[in-house]
Chains A and B, each alone.
Chain A
């Protein structure tokens, strides 16, 4: 039976994606960039939409929510996956609303009274069947995929507006977005980059090698020297793992130090973050916020006797509060941290915040 075949094929794909998610990130950050994760998640969700059995939008949303929960549980620190699930859910809502003939605007701007009284009743409305819904949703997801493809380019295109000649830029660790951003600027302008090495994983070393290959003047500094060097720095440009709902960051270890030093010297701190990193999560959710990896880099396994006498931890992320951040540069332009809540409501439906 071809139908059954399709389904086993689909669940096989989901399983392999899940196990890959679980395994990714055995080192410091993820093995693949989060852009790739976002694309893969969206492609998988498109496949689910195309191949799973569903009669109406309600069913489809239920399926996607269920798989989305499993995917986020597989690697809680990879928020991109959950974000993409929410984006797709939002797409389904919009397409459903359009098929019914109501405008997006009406859905978007409900009155306070309606918000209070409606409760979960909007769910019931998704039971109607539309023949074109599937094709429309898939097309919308395709658009989302195209958008994802272009994010890094869109961000690096804005580089020339922010980086000027003979500036000293500081960054920390290795972010693919920042790397592309700096390289783009380097085509026109000459500037100096200081890279904090980001111990113990030292992704900063890779970043510096990559930048110097493009003939950018690059200096690697130890994390301890961040404050000392900060007085010479014109701008701090960093990447992040997640942009939180309050406009704060969940970024690689040491970023908070960097942000505080920048604040002290009144150096602007610019965060390059594509929109898919925007998560409705708040920093108070302790359990999923942290990620601890093997303490091997902190205290090597070969140390021997001392290991039984001490506890070594290998945390990966730092929290950076929004008041330390000057500007976010995303694929849709620059925004202040205080504007994040607005972007959030544009991208995700409030009912989807909790999957």
Chain B
């Protein structure tokens, strides 16, 4: 269930009204595009520590250039490039590129902010700045495509003209059956669609799910043609109406496109927005979402699937870059020298001024500019970037070697190795499959992006044990090597398996034995964003949300009425019963000082922190604690909390006292609770607490005296 948080004072009806009011009919508006030059994840770490993903070279051209070329060739006249991570580098790159020349048919605006954390943030900013005026294209900065979208664009316009503003988005898909190498298992999706209108009825990421669920109502949609498709590759290109940006603003919990699509489909009946799709048969479109995709998209580019965007076309118009294409897809830029007996077998691209020694065998490989490669080197599916030195007798299989790396004599790189910038390896060392080496120590990872799945808490603890060793380990990088090993996908450590999968993506056609394993890691890194199994943790998530709400209430001094409103809306969002709300509220408030001050505070400190809070939030409690039964529940959960924290029992009486004084609890309730037969030893112990007994006694006396008064 997608959350729909409503801000206090704003109802759903109002927001949807606003959506419709901003439409201005225009005759021939210029085509705009929003290019998100940030992935908002760390798939390419540690490579992206030095260079943003959009600038990584793919077949010796930065990925963002492919995306811009695609946009320009489809007739986009204005592009907004949004960058966050290393924005200045992207800006600098674009400033120098042909896109920023005055003659460029596509005007590129760069918008940077450190605050973007997701696609949602970007689109909210698009809305806030009112950048788009009509339908726009939404792509990531790592999409490689030559799809002609003019037909899809026309269909989209037609749909919008026919049915006023009902269709908000058209997603572009490419037909590619399961098992296709360009399909990335991370992105596997199942789509239920209306065969006639091409409307998407259900959208689900498959991700190794063994069982699929379809909501019944999609079968009642009144259409007689109904298709469920698993042969589609999401090109990550979508045609959006301006409403898309507005919808992101209205639903500030939408983070990704996935959230958006699912949210829209779930709320389709309420908001009346629809999503359509366009399936292209010819044309190529794929997103480089991990290194496995990097490998396939590179090889597809070299095999000319993306024609006319090919290496020799020099579409980026870089100075001095010219490339020749000869048979077996061998591309050579100027100044390439090849030693005696060396063979470029097939699908090879060699950058300018690269020197290759004698008796080398090179196949399915991209080599950047100004590299030096020694004698007797074997390269297969190697992606070697610029200024790399490779000595004699080196063997490389399916690996990525970044700028300025030095690979010394006799090194063997097995499959899926990554040597990040400036690493030195060797001599005479064999790196096992999936080795990732970087000049950055894994410990020095700054925690600014802590919300990402890669740095979970238990990992940090594990790393802290290992004291910051700044010495290069010769066993990892060779006697003259420089660099730290990140994680390997060695089989004995399942936790480390996860990173390798993240950077290379899931391996296609994985062995059946490894299936279960990949499933586990899938689930663990996708918690929260994975929509399939949130029920399990609803209560937990709700508790966190309540805690967050109260914290914010404290920080921003929000009135208790609004807090109640927010908690109520959370209650509906997570489907929590009233009783549970109260229990959780009590638990959160009682544990509040521990969260603020740490778990080690003394009882006196604890109560001095808690009591003002209780006073402040008394109206909130009063809202939930009304009937005598509520009081009992409230007390029961208080007992539960204190049972967990024996050392703070002394505070219980103070809490009870203050709740009594604030008229949240009444004496009958407290007496009833106290006299209730307790089941466990511990709770009996609790009731024998000195302070508590005194308090009860005092209560009884007070009662008697009041009775006496009467």
**A interface vs B, CB < 8 Å?**
8, 11-12, 14-16, 19, 22-23, 25-26, 73, 286-288, 290, 292-296, 300-305, 307-308, 311-314
Is there contact, CB below 8 Å, between A301 and B282? Answer: yes
Q: Which residues between 286 and 318 of chain B lie within 8 Å of chain A, taking CB atoms? A: 303-308, 313-315
> CB-CB contacts of B169-211 with A at 8 A, as 1s and 0s?
0000011111111100000000000000000000000000000
Is B103 an interface residue, CB under 8 A from the partner? yes
Q: Which of A26, A288, A293, A300 has the most CB of B within 10 A?
A: A26
Besides A301-B282, A314-B304, A314-B307, 19 other CB < 8 A contacts?
Answer: A8-B103, A15-B103, A16-B103, A26-B148, A287-B325, A293-B304, A294-B307, A296-B282, A296-B305, A301-B175, A301-B176, A302-B175, A302-B177, A302-B180, A302-B231, A305-B181, A311-B346, A312-B303, A313-B329
B177 touching A304 by the CB < 8 A rule?
Answer: yes
Contact with A along B131-163 (1 / 0, CB 8 A): 000000000000000101000000000000000
Contacts of B307 in A (CB 8 A): 26, 292-294, 314
* Cβ-neighbour of A22 out of B175, B305, B315 (below 8 A): B315
Q: Could you list 24 examples of A-B contacts with CB < 8 Å?
A: A12-B103, A15-B104, A25-B308, A286-B326, A287-B325, A292-B304, A292-B307, A294-B146, A294-B304, A295-B303, A295-B304, A295-B305, A300-B281, A301-B174, A301-B284, A302-B180, A302-B231, A302-B281, A304-B178, A304-B180, A305-B179, A311-B346, A311-B347, A313-B304
Say yes or no: is B324 at the interface (Cβ < 8 Å to chain A): yes
Given A287-B326, A302-B281, A311-B347: A23 and B304 interface contact (C-beta under 8 Å): no
Interface pairs A-B: 4 shortest CB-CB? A294-B307, A287-B324, A15-B103, A308-B181
Of the residues A11, A26, A73, A305, contact of B180 by C-beta under 8 Å? A305
Q: Of B182, B281, B303, which one neighbours A311 at CB under 8 angstroms?
A: B303
Q: How far is the CA of A303 from the CA of B281 in the complex (A)?
A: 11
A307-B180, A311-B346 known; A19-B303 Cβ under 8 A: no
Smallest CB gap from B179: residue in A: A305
* Chain A residues closer than 8 Å to B102, beta-carbon distance: 8, 12
Q: Which residue of A lies closest to B104 (CB)?
A: A15
What's the least CB distance linking A117 to chain B, in Å? 34
Given the known interface contacts A22-B313, A287-B326, the answer about A307 and B306 at a Cβ–Cβ threshold of 8 Å is no
Smallest CB gap from A314: residue in B? B304
* Chain B 318-329 interface 0/1 with A at a Cβ cutoff of 8 Å (1 = within): 000010111111
Instruction: Give chain B residues whose Cβ lies under 8 Å from the Cβ of A293.
Output: 304, 307-308
**Chain B CB within 10 Å, residue with most, of A300, A301, A313, A314:** A301
- The interface residues of chain A lying within 8 Å CB-to-CB of B322 are 73
Contacts of B342 in A (CB 8 A): none
Prevailing SS type, chain A contact patch:
helix
Q: With an 8 A cutoff between CB atoms, is B72 at the interface?
A: yes
Please state if A294 and B181 are interface contacts (CB–CB under 8 Å): no
Closest A residue to B175 by beta carbon equals A302
Contact assessment for A19 and B72 in the assembled complex, using a CB-CB cutoff below 8 Å: yes
B73 — which chain A residues lie within 8 A by C-beta?
19, 23
Residue B105 at the A interface, CB < 8 A?
Answer: yes
Cβ-closest chain B residue relative to A288: B324
Q: Once bound together, how far apart are the Cα atoms of A287 and B322, in whole Å? A: 12
Chain A residue contacts of B308, Cβ below 8 A:
22-23, 25-26, 293
Contact A294 B315 (CB under 8 A): no
With both beta carbons as reference points, the residue of chain B lying nearest to A26 in the complex is identified as B308
A314: shortest Cβ distance to chain B, in Å?
A: 7
Across the interface, do B176 and A302 meet the contact criterion of CB distance under 8 Å? yes
Please report the C-alpha to C-alpha distance between residue A302 and residue B177 in the assembled complex, in whole angstroms: 6
Chain A residues with CB under 8 Å of B176's CB are: 301-302, 304
Q: Which residues of B contact A11 (CB under 8 A)?
A: 103
B-chain residues with CB within 8 Å of residue A308 when the two chains form the complex: 181
Which residues on B sit within 8 Å (CB–CB) of A23?
A: 73, 308
Residue of A nearest to B177 (CB): A304
A292 to B325, Cβ gap below 8 A? yes
Instruction: Give the residues in chain B near A292, CB-CB below 8 Å.
Output: 304, 307, 325, 329
In the complex, what distance in Å separates the CA atom of A26 from the CA atom of B308? 6
Q: How far is the CB of B471 from chain A (nearest CB, A)?
A: 42
Residues of A within 8 A of B175 (CB): 301-302
Contacts of A288 in B (CB 8 A): 324
> Which residues of chain B have C-beta atoms less than 8 A from A16's C-beta?
103, 105
What string of 1s and 0s marks CB contacts (under 8 Å) between B423-445 and chain A? 00000000000000000000000
Given contacts A22-B315, A23-B73, A73-B322, contact A294 B180 (CB under 8 A): no
A229 to B306, CA, bound (A): 37
| Residues of chain A contacted by B313 (CB below 8 angstroms) | 22
Q: Which of A15, A25, A303 has the most CB of B within 10 A?
A: A15
Instruction: Looking at the assembled complex, report how far the CB atom of A307 sits from the nearest CB atom of chain B, in whole angstroms.
Output: 6
Q: Is the CB of A301 within 8 A of B104?
A: no
On whether the beta carbons of B103 and A294 are closer than 8 Å, the reply is no
Q: For the complex, what is the distance from the CA of A296 to the CA of B174, rounded to whole Å?
A: 13
Q: Give the distance to chain A from B79, nearest Cβ to Cβ, in Å.
A: 15
Cβ contacts under 8 Å, B327 to chain A: 286, 290
| A115 → B minimal CB distance (Å) | 32
Q: Nearest CB to that of A76 among chain B residues?
A: B312
A290-B326 Cα distance, complex, nearest whole Å? 8
Contact A19 B105 (CB under 8 A): yes
- Chain B: CB-nearest residue to A12: B103
Which residues of B sit under 8 angstroms from A73, Cβ to Cβ? 314, 322
Q: State the CA gap A288–B322 with chains docked (Å).
A: 12
> Roughly how many angstroms separate A305 CA and B179 CA in the complex, as a whole number?
5
Residue among B308, B313, B346 with max Cβ neighbours from chain A (10 Å): B308
- Alpha-carbon gap, A15 to B101, bound state (A): 10
Q: How far is the CA of A25 from the CA of B104 in the complex (A)?
A: 21
Residues of B within 8 A of A26 (CB): 146, 148, 307-308
Min CB–CB distance A158 → chain B (angstroms): 36
Chain A positions within 8 Å of B182 at CB level: 301
A311 near B72 (CB under 8 angstroms)? no
A304, B179: Cβ atoms closer than 8 Å: yes
For B329, list chain A residues within 8 Å (CB): 292, 311, 313
Q: How far is the CA of A16 from the CA of B329 in the complex (A)?
A: 29
Bound Cα distance from A15 to B106, whole angstroms: 12
A61 to chain B, nearest CB (A): 23
Q: A294 — which chain B residues lie within 8 A by C-beta?
A: 146, 282, 284, 304-307
Task: Give the complex CA separation of A288 and B102 in angstroms.
Answer: 30
In the assembly, what is the distance between CA of A22 and CA of B305, in Å? 16
CB distance B347 to A301 under 8 Å?
no
Rounded to whole angstroms, the CA-CA distance of A293 and B308 in the bound complex is 7
**Nearest neighbor of B327 in chain A, beta-carbon distance:** A290
Q: How far is the CA of A313 from the CA of B346 in the complex (A)?
A: 12
**Closest chain A residue, CB of each to CB of B102:** A8
Contacts of B315 in A (CB 8 A): 22
| Alpha-carbon gap, A293 to B305, bound state (A) | 8
Most buried by B among A26, A286, A294, A303: A294
Task: Give min CB distance, A152 to chain B, whole Å.
Answer: 27
Q: A residues within 8 A CB of B304? A: 292-295, 313-314
Determine the distance from Cα of A157 to Cα of B329 in the docked complex, in whole angstroms.
43
Q: How far is the CA of A237 from the CA of B322 in the complex (A)?
A: 37
Complex Cα–Cα for A301 and B324 (A): 25
Which residue of chain A is the closest to B103 with respect to CB atoms? A15
Which A residues are in CB contact (< 8 Å) with B328?
A: 311
CA distance A8 to B102 in the complex (A): 8
Give the most central of B72, B325, B347: most A CB within 10 Å: B325
Residues of B within 8 A of A303 (CB): 177
Question: In the bound complex, how far is the Cα of B281 from the Cα of A68, in angstroms?
Answer: 36
Interface centre among A73, A290, A296, A300 (most CB of B within 10 A): A296
CA distance A14 to B174 in the complex (A): 34
> How far is it, in angstroms, between the C-alpha of A265 and the C-alpha of B180 when the chains are bound?
46
Q: Closest Cβ of chain A: how far from B312's Cβ, in Å? A: 8
Q: Which of chain B's residues have a CB closer than 8 A to the CB of A304?
A: 176-180
CA–CA, A314 to B310, complex, Å?
13
Q: How far is the CA of A313 from the CA of B314 in the complex (A)?
A: 20
Question: Which residues on A sit within 8 Å (CB–CB) of B305?
Answer: 294-296, 301
A304 to B230, CA, bound (A): 13
